Amino acid sequence: MSLSRTLHLLPRSTIVARRSFSTTAPAFVKAGDPVPDIDLVEGSPGNKVNLAKELQGNGLIVGVPAAFSPACSASHIPGYLNSASLKGAGKVFVVSVNDAFVMKAWGATLDPMNKSGIRFLGDPDAKFTEAVDLSFESTSIFGNNRSKRYALKVENGKVKEAFVEPDNTGVDGEYLS
């Protein structure tokens, strides 16, 4: 039986939700876009960090799906921590849809002496991630929507280059050079 024939059988008080289908590609963050003016958290919920203000020079924002995830902990973030190009990258931030405490613990695990200078920021409500249009539905894995894996090279508050993993799972490349 077709949907239109079935709908008339429902009581008038029934709400029918329709999902629209779109063939339009997502509008991921791209070169020239400003860094979103949204507060993230570092170390504790009260310590706000705004990347639009922090990145008025050169820098890098590295987005990951989850702190302590196997790929991010074993190879993705260590690739940045151990990169010879790190010193010339400017300020470097790792951002994940996690709370400040989790990100602090993860940073301390990966870089216990904080030799790299990389800062680990939480995006607990995913507002930053959504502002750069890089969230993906991952409730079956992480319990909520998370961030795609990405790197944004930033100059003077604007994205110079954007690298986004196409499948949300790969650890494809190093973006400091």
Q: What's the rounded Cα separation, in Å, for the pair 151 and 167?
A: 14
Q: What's the rounded Cα separation, in Å, for the pair 24 and 72?
A: 30
Residue 109: phi, psi to the nearest 5? -75, -45
Query: Which residues have a catalytic role annotated?
Result: 72
- 126: phi > 0 → left, psi -120 to 50 → alpha, else beta; which? left
* CB 147, CB 137: distance < 8 Å: no
